[in-house]
């Protein structure tokens, strides 16, 4: 209720601050009997960790995960799985100059308004570092969904500032530092140069990320409030710096006619996917497709007008090791949130409807 638990039947309760002793989470509701070890989780954490290229924060943090509970003899027991990640790079002196001032566009202003407390240690609780435990938890969800339904996730950057990234294939996202789904060397070179110039300017930039889930069973989603797309929107908008969410055709739907937008159905499946895999808040069996807008980082060197905690006008410049484009590391996080939503709804569906099994209209099963 206080906002640190994600999900309803597969819940992830996170704790920790960017520069405190540790971060982690408690995962409740994982079905028993699934093989699980740190080796299932660590690779996902490695995908989002800092310091992997010159375009992201240079903070060095191995983010080693320890499973504290919920696994016995290599299998989940059905009891809570606690993940612990000790913070190692707690260098908070970089933030010394911002202790009493508010960065324009940053959560430090609103945390002050809400709690009456400043925790300047790297953004404290509002830091994107807190996505690490979630990515860890989602690794468990991904494994279960894969085993149960064959569900798979992909994602990548489709726009960096004004630079569009035409889609060539998800397999390319592992071959460049942007998770860009392209093998276009010239384009990637342009993105690199763009980032270098930006960093030199001490400025930051936004990005657009797309994520996708394949092999999602039809029927997931709880109308009329915990619709699958509503919960996806909640999950995505809750990621640090996200300002917009689209499902399927998204804002293009505004100028589409119904005769164009509605995906026709044939015995071989849907024709098109303007729905993004969700109709009436329930999955259709198509791919779930989601796009998000990520704003530019607020911690920049460019001087900006602001206030201090006493209300006095100040000029703020933020030094330290910040991502100039938080969108670059957002792909594994967005995939993780999508996985958590699907996992939760898979459990919710079988609670309410486990006896219902309409004929698969396409396969006749």
Residues of this chain, 34-93, that bind a copy of itself according to CB under 8 A:
66, 68-70, 72, 75, 77-82, 84
Nearest distance, CB of residue 195 and a copy of itself, angstroms:
12
Question: In this chain, which stretch among 18-26, 46-54, 167-175, 184-192 interacts with a copy of itself, using CB under 8 A?
Answer: 18-26
Binding residue (CB under 8 A) for a copy of itself from 136, 221, 320, 332: 221
Binding residue (CB under 8 A) for a copy of itself from 37, 115, 150, 171: 115
Give residues with Cβ within 8 angstroms of 15, minimum separation 6. Answer: 4, 23, 24, 25, 133
Give residues with Cβ within 8 angstroms of 115, minimum separation 6. Answer: none
Q: Based on the shown chain and the rule CB under 8 A, indicate whether residue 178 belongs to the binding site for a copy of itself.
A: no
Give residues with Cβ within 8 angstroms of 78, minimum separation 6. Answer: 30, 31, 32, 33, 70
Cα gap 30→76, rounded to integer Å: 7
Binding residue (CB under 8 A) for a copy of itself from 44, 61, 63, 229: 229
268 to 307, contacts with a copy of itself by CB under 8 A? 271, 274-276, 278-285, 293-298, 300, 302, 304-307
Strand order across the beta sheet in which 65-67 lies: 5-6, 11-16, 22-28, 81-86, 65-67
Binding residue (CB under 8 A) for a copy of itself from 206, 210, 329, 338: 206
Cα gap 346→264, rounded to integer Å: 26
86 carries a ligand binding annotation? no
Binding residue (CB under 8 A) for a copy of itself from 14, 154, 173, 331: 14
Cα gap 283→290, rounded to integer Å: 13
* Interface with a copy of itself: number of residues (CB under 8 A): 161
Phi, psi dihedrals of residue 39, rounded to the nearest 5°: -65, -20
Cα gap 203→13, rounded to integer Å: 34
| Residues of the binding site for FMN | 125-127, 240-241, 280, 295-299, 321
| Residues of the binding site for NADP(+) | 48, 54
């Amino acid at each position: 209720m206080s906002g640190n638990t994600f999900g309803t039947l597969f819940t992830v309760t996170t704790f920790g601050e960017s520069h405190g002793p540790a971060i982690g989470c408690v995962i409740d509701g994982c079905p028993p009997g699934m093989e699980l070890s740190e080796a299932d989780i660590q690779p996902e954490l490695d995908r989002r960790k800092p310091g992997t290229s010159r375009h992201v924060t240079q903070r060095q943090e191995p983010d080693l995960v320890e499973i504290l509970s919920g696994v016995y003899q290599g299998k989940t027991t059905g009891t809570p799985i606690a993940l612990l990640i000790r913070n190692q790079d707690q260098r908070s002196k970089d933030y010394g100059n911002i202790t009493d001032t508010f960065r324009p566009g940053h959560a430090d202003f609103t945390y002050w308004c809400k709690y009456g407390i400043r925790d300047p240690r790297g953004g404290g609780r509002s830091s994107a570092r807190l996505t690490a435990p979630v990515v860890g938890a989602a690794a468990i969800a991904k494994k279960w969904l894969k085993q149960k339904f064959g569900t798979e996730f992909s994602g990548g950057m489709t726009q960096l500032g004004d630079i569009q990234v035409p889609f060539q294939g998800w397999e390319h996202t592992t071959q460049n530092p942007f998770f860009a789904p392209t093998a276009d060397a010239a384009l990637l070179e342009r993105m690199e140069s763009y980032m270098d110039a930006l960093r030199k300017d001490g400025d930051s930039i936004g990005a657009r990320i797309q994520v996708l889930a394949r092999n999602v069973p039809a029927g997931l989603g709880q109308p009329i409030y915990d619709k699958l797309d509503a919960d996806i929107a909640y999950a995505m908008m809750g990621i640090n710096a996200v300002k917009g969410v689209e499902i399927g055709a998204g804002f293009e739907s505004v100028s589409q006619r119904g005769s164009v937008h509605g995906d026709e159905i044939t015995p071989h499946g849907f024709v098109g996917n303007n729905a993004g895999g969700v109709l009436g808040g329930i999955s259709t069996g198509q791919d779930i497709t989601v796009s998000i807008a990520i704003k530019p980082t607020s911690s920049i060197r460019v001087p900006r007008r602001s206030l201090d905690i006493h209300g006095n006008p100040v000029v703020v410049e933020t030094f330290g090791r910040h991502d100039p484009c938080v969108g670059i590391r957002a792909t594994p996080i967005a995939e993780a949130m999508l996985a958590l939503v699907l996992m939760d709804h898979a459990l919710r569906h079988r609670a309410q409807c486990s006896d219902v099994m309409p004929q698969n209209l396409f396969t006749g099963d």
